[in-house]
Each structure stands twice: as structure tokens, then as C-alpha cells.
Amino acid sequence: MENGLHEYTEVCFKEKEGNGNANHVIRMGTRKSQLARIQTDYVKEKLMELHPDVKFEIVAMSTIGDKILDTALSKIGEKSLFTKELENALERNEVDIVVHSLKDLPTTLPPGFTVGAVLERESPYDAVVLHPKHAGLSLETLPEKSVIGTSSLRRAAQLKRRFPHLEFESIRGNLNTRLKKLDEKDDYAAIILAAAGLKRMGWENRISMILEPADCMYAVGQGALAVEVRARDRHILDMVSVLHHHDTVLRCIAERAFLRHLEGGCSVPVAVHTEVKDALLCLTGAVYSLDGADMLKETMQISILPDNEVPQVSDDGAHVGVTAYNISESSQAAAEKLGVDLAELLLSKGAKDILTTARQLNDAR
Ligand code: DPM
């Protein structure tokens, strides 16, 4: 934050109550990585279209997740790795809006914060990026013992299960760093990244294959952008709420409720797949042992038929950290219940043991 603020000294500080008036500048906090900036610019463009009378400014900051580049994400043990410093700035009214990848936002936000918008989801799937020398191959046809770079326990567990001839090693750094490590060294035959991030960076042409749910289900919230705001700041909440995408919101509420009820974070192998079809919300969720040998996977669905109910306006109408007054309250409650019910089903089949063992093994590595 100290790095970002001095660039904007001409802007007056706001009163403690937060930002109330249209003549105020709305400040948007972002991490300094290229992907974070692209995502924040994208949301800024959307907001400028919808609120042409408001001035938006971007403030870039470094976060712990950006500073610790040599340790696997799952081992750092700080749940709000990428979000804490940005939330501190929100709290101090130094920024009014923070844009995140929803999948990096903990399922329980610190008190006082909420997700005021979840934008339409990009592709939620994972993608394989091959070393150029393997062009034309696939995970299936890569040579025995080829090393795949990923520090996602979720990706490694599922892919070990599906492609036992491959080996998996951690790779860290932002997207630019990872692609460089892949191309310029001989350490990895391929790396696995979220298709959404690659697309936003303009690197779609590096995608060799998209992983189908049968091979690798995605992370909770993957591919969706989230706008975090101060929960008490009704003016900003109303301003950003127009960005909510109905189906994405309900899918992500179900996914986040599932993860929260399992007590999973970014350090456990949990994967999901959701669909909205014919007023049905369908959630598939799975937990894996680190080596992928054990798996529990179930699917449930719930009706989200639109109702005539007046949107609830309570102090805390949030569902797993998401506030969406403009989306049917009963559909949101149904989505949250779906996630909880599916988690309960997996827990009744032994998910707790799988996750506890995975956590212990990961901590011991
Ligand atoms: C989280 C994970 C990863 C990110 C764990 C997972 C990937 C870590 C890694 C929770 N956050 O997915 O199982 O590969 O070492 C992250 C990316 C994006 C958001 C990059 C990526 C962009 C896509 C999006 C890192 N967070 O996953 O390739 O907006 O969802």
C-alpha cells in the first residue's frame, strides 16, 4: 500500500464514514501483478460505463502472496494471502473497492467486508500449457515420468489419479514467471493453469488442452471476478451490485458453502463443478487424498425457480460472504443450502478423514 498511495496524493482523504457522494473519487485497490491489474481495469471499464458521472482510480499494492514466491501456496498457511493488505486499505478508507479472483477469497470474510459483485464467470476450467518441445502431445501421450508443474493440491491429486505415468512438482510465481520457467528451463514438460487467467492475459494461444471435468474439476469460484467492499457502505454496494451475474452468483454461493462446510481452504484438495439448467442448480463436489488414490464425489441439485418475493434488505443479507440484494433471496438461500447439504453428504461418507490426512501430509512435506 505504501507503494501505491503516493502516486495519488492529489486525492483528498475521505471521512471515516466511507464514500457517500457521487462527486467523490472511487478508489479501486489491486495487487501489482499483471493479471490483477488487467482484472481491475476490466471492472473499472464496466463501472465507468454504468456510472459515467463517477471518477474511478486504481491504487496498486503488493501482498504477502506476491512477495513469497518460492513457497508453495498451500504451505504458507495464511488463508487470506492475497487479500489481507487490500482489506486493510479498505478498512482505512484508503480504497473503496477491491477486485479479486473469487477463488482467492476465503469463504469466511473478516467482519465488515463483503463481496458486492460477482461478475459473469469466464471459463472455470484448468488448462494444460505444454513446453514447446512437446507440441502436439497431450497429458495422455507425454512420456513416462514427465514432470508437470502445479502447486495446486487439487490439480495434482486429480491428475495423478487420471494420469499415473506423470509426476507433479510445485511451481510458484505469477503467470509471467511460470510461463518463463516452463519455456526457458527443462524442469517441466507442462504446467497447469486456470484457462480464465490465461485468457485475460491474452495467452489463450498457449493453451494446449482444456481439462474436462472428468479429468480435473475446478476450484471453488475459479474464473469469476469478485468485487469486495465495506459491508456498511450501502452507496458503494449499490454502485457495484449491477455487476452481479445471476447464474454465476448462485453457482459460486453453492461452491463456497460447500467448501466452507467442509472447512477447506486453499490448502486442501477440494474440487467442484456447477451448472444452472432449466431453473435447476446442480453441484458436483469432490475431495481427494493428496495422491488422488482416495476420492469422494457426489452430485446434488436444487430448484432455483425465480420467485415473486421482495428482495430482502437486512443488515447482513450475505451468503458465504456475497451480498446480492438484486438477486432472489430464496434462490441464494437454496444455493447455500445445496453446498451445505452436499458437504454433509461427503462428510457422512468420510470426507473429514481424507481432508485431515491430506492436511497433515501436506504440512509435513
Ligand atoms: C488458488 C489456487 C491457485 C490460485 C489453488 C487451486 C492455483 C495455485 C497454483 C486458491 N488460487 O486452484 O487449486 O497453481 O499454484 C489463482 C489463479 C487465478 C486466480 C491462477 C491459476 C486466475 C483464474 C481465476 C491462483 N487465483 O489458478 O492458474 O480468476 O480463477
| Residue 91: per-residue pLDDT | 93
Q: Is 266 in the pocket of ligand 1 (CB under 6 A)?
A: yes
Do residues 127 and 209 touch, judged by C-beta distance below 8 A?
Answer: yes
CB atoms within 10 A of CB 242: 12
Q: Is 197 in the pocket of ligand 1 (CB under 6 A)?
A: yes
How many Å lie between the centroid of ligand 1 and the Cα of residue 51? Answer: 31
| CB within 8 Å of 314: residues ≥ 6 apart | none
pLDDT tens digits, one per residue of 220-235: 999 999 999 999 999 9
Nearest CA to 26 among 6, 1, 8?
8
Cα atoms found within 13 Å of the Cα of residue 331, Cβ hemisphere only: 26
| Residue 62: per-residue pLDDT | 78
| Residue 131: per-residue pLDDT | 97
Residue 357 grid cell: 490426512
d(CA 350, CA 365): 23
Residue 135 grid cell: 507440441
Nearest CA to 321 among 224, 199, 192?
224
CB atoms within 10 A of CB 87: 22
d(CA 77, CA 54): 39
- Indicate which residues carry an active-site annotation: 104
Residue 292 to residues 2, 219, 225, Cα–Cα distance (Å): 43, 16, 29
* Cell 440484494 sits on residue: 325
Atom 22 of ligand 1 has which residue's CA nearest to it?
197
For the chain, list residues with pLDDT below 70: 1-23, 63-82, 264-266, 306-316
How many Å lie between the centroid of ligand 1 and the Cα of residue 34? Answer: 14
| Residue 72: per-residue pLDDT | 55
| Residue 150: per-residue pLDDT | 97
d(CA 333, CA 311): 12
pLDDT tens digits, one per residue of 159-179: 999 999 999 999 988 899 999
- Ligand 1 atom at shortest distance from the alpha carbon of 39: 29
| Residue 320: per-residue pLDDT | 96
How many Å lie between the centroid of ligand 1 and the Cα of residue 196? Answer: 10
